Structure 1
Amino acid sequence: MVQQLLYRALVSSKWLAESVRAGKLGPSLRVLDASWYSPGTREARKEYLERHVPGASFFDIEECRDTASPYEMMLPSEAHFANYVGRLGIGNDTHVVVYDGDELGTFYAPRVWWMFRVFGHRTVSVLNGGFRNWLKEGHPVTSEPSCPEPATFKATLDHSLVKTYEQVLENLKSKQFQLVDSRAQGRYLGTQPEPDAVGR
């Protein structure tokens, strides 16, 4: 049964709570709080330090990205990602469960889920309903930070999961793949501004 769960994109709060209670967190199961909020709104790391799922580590998207790129939130290199998640105690055999504290419970957790997939890690899941659902169901929280033993992670970029600007432009003619814009309708239509897009 557990083996089947390892490949599910979503795991339930009940399943994770049972795993925490049974002491299963460790090298084979790690939990990450991947919360991120627009500057000036909420402070993700501060909220993590106040309360989080017991045993969860904080995944800082600001640290695990290509800081040399002029564009926001670009993927880090294989080496950077491998080093970063290795320091969080994640190896290639670790089942990773990711959540965030957004109102929908699925704002940046799916982004981090995708990052793991891009770097060749298949045993990664999003906590269904996120931290909000965890709290709603009355599961325990802690303010104690997690300090896992570092692990070795080998990252291998799957180029098929990333498209360049040029590939997207070419796709307008070739129609080789379906492109989905997940922004709200107003942003998609250009009738509402992009967040943090002052001066663009």
Structure 2
Amino acid sequence: MSNPLVSKKWLLARMYEPHMVIADCRFQLGAPEAGRAAYAESHIPGAIYLDLESDLSAPVAEHGGRHPLPDPEVLAKRLSQVGISNDSVVVAYDDQGGMNASRLWMLLRWLGHDQVYIMDEGFSAWQQDGYPVTAEQQVVIPSSFQPALHDELIADVNYVRSAIGNPDVLLVDSRESPRYLGQTEPIDAKAGHIPSAINAFWKNNLDDTGKWAPEEQRRAGLSEVINALDAGLEVIVYCGSGVSACPNIVALHSLGYFNVRLYAGSWSDWISYPDNPVATGRE
């Protein structure tokens, strides 16, 4: 199954299969305990909880951005603790348009695990449709996850520096337009974008209800990126901290495009180096 997106009905039909692990990835920036509290109140039966900052990111340091790429061995240990093995089929969900679920999807693929999917829509839609929910947290039987890194899926700051102005590489900024243009910056210390990057806001992959949009809309929103990939270019996607870039990568995969790297540290890592150039306005 190459499409990373699965429906609520697909998950409902398979949620009790022995190799299935459902991962609740709800998280709110600025309210770091809200996701875990929401999980404790109600979640899909059998789901485990993975926290964006404590589980799916390394501790913040001078470089690496606001959500640094976790140490692969530390992440693999955590995945083992919550019952994810190399044989598991993982389905992630959140209530943030797939942003945090996509982060887990990306990290698992980086660790060499391809049997990972994202539930279309989110927990609220699951609940509103009358699908089963619970506050019960079942006992998790630890497993063993052995990582096999695919470093070709990740770009670091040096790789991105070499990509600026390279005609064989397209840099894609996934943030909303005012942040890309440098008109406003509500989170990070500097406004603007990496020179030569184009803008493709990640929420363009969603429809008005927050559900993943039909294929034609995803394709239209990423048309400039798709044209570059069709021409044989490599694509590097980034955002503010390496989280909201992931839905763009998911969307490209859902359309059959795989030659894409994540700049894991993203803008918040880029500006932690004073000599890195910053651009504003449209490219």
Q: Where on the TM-score scale, by shorter chain, does this alignment land: which range?
A: 0.7 to 0.9
**Matching of residue 194 in structure 1 with residue 192 in structure 2:** no
Q: What's the secondary structure of 1:32's corresponding residue?
A: strand
Larger mean Cα displacement after TM superposition, 175-184 or 92-101: 175-184
Q: Which amino acid aligns with 1:145?
A: Q
**Could you say which residue in structure 2 is the equivalent of 1:124?**
116
Q: Which amino acid aligns with 2:13?
A: E
- Percent identity between matched residues is 30
- Give the gaps of 5 or more residues in structure 1: none
**Could you say which residue in structure 2 is the equivalent of 1:164?**
156
Structure 1 length normalisation: TM-score?
A: 0.86
**Could you say which residue in structure 2 is the equivalent of 1:34?**
25
Residues 57-77 of structure 1 deviation map (CA, whole Å, 9 limit, x = unaligned): 001122222216333211112
Give the 5 Å matches for 1:13-52.
13-20=8-15, 23-24=16-17, 26=18, 28-40=19-31, 43-52=34-43
- Runs of 4+ deviating beyond 3 Å: 197-200
Bigger relative CO (Cα 8 Å, ≥ 6 apart)? 1
Give the 5 Å matches for 1:20-99.
20=15, 23-24=16-17, 26=18, 28-40=19-31, 43-64=34-55, 65-67=57-59, 69-70=61-62, 71-99=65-93
* Contact 2:92 2:117 survives alignment (8 Å): yes
* Contact 2:60 2:67 survives alignment (8 Å): no
> Shift of residue 111 of structure 1?
1.0
Between the two proteins, the alignment pairs up a number of residues equal to: 188
Structure 2 Cα separation of the partners of residues 92 and 40 of structure 1: 32
* Contact 1:45 1:58 survives alignment (8 Å): yes
- Give the gaps of 5 or more residues in structure 2: 191-270, 272-283
Structure 2 length normalisation: TM-score?
A: 0.62
Q: What's the secondary structure of 1:125's corresponding residue?
A: strand
Cα RMSD after superposing both structures: 2.0
